[in-house]
Amino acid sequence: MSADVGRTRPPAMSDVAELAGVSHQTVSRVLNDHPSVRPQTRERVLDAIATLGYRRNSAARALVTARSGTIGVVTTGSALYGPTSTLIAVEGAAREEGYFVSVATIRRYDAETMHTVLEHFMAQAVEGIVVIAPQTDVAAAVDSFRAPVPIILIAAREPNEVHAGAPGTGAASILPIAVDQRLGARVATEHLLDLGHRSVVHLAGPLDWFDARERAKGWNDALAARDVPEIDREMIRCSWSSDAGYDVGRDLARRVADGKGPTAVFAGNDHLALGVLQAFWEAGVVVPRDVSVVGFDDVEGSAHFIPPLTTVRQPFAELGRRCMALLLDAFAGSTRETRQIPPDLVVRASSGPPSV
Give 81-127 pLDDT, tens digit per residue: 888 999 999 999 988 888 889 999 888 777 788 888 888 888 888 99
**Residue 320, Cβ density class (10 Å: 0-12 exposed, 13-18 middle, ≥19 buried):** buried
What does pLDDT average to in each consecutive run of 10 residues of the chain (356 residues)?
55 86 83 79 89 67 60 85 90 88 86 84 88 87 81 82 42 81 98 96 95 97 96 96 98 96 97 98 98 97 97 94 90 77 97 91
Cα(189)–Cα(232) distance, integer angstroms? 14
Task: Give the dihedral sign, CA 95/100/105/109.
Answer: negative
pLDDT at 304: 97
Three-state SS at 246: helix
pLDDT at 60: 52
pLDDT at 168: 33
pLDDT at 68: 73
Q: Taking Cα atoms as reference points, which of 170, 168, 108 lies closest to residue 140?
A: 108
Q: Taking Cα atoms as reference points, which of 275, 159, 152 lies closest to residue 210?
A: 159
Exposure string for 259-274, b = 16+ CB within 10 A, e = fewer: eebbbbbbbbbbbbbb
pLDDT at 164: 44
Model pTM? 0.79
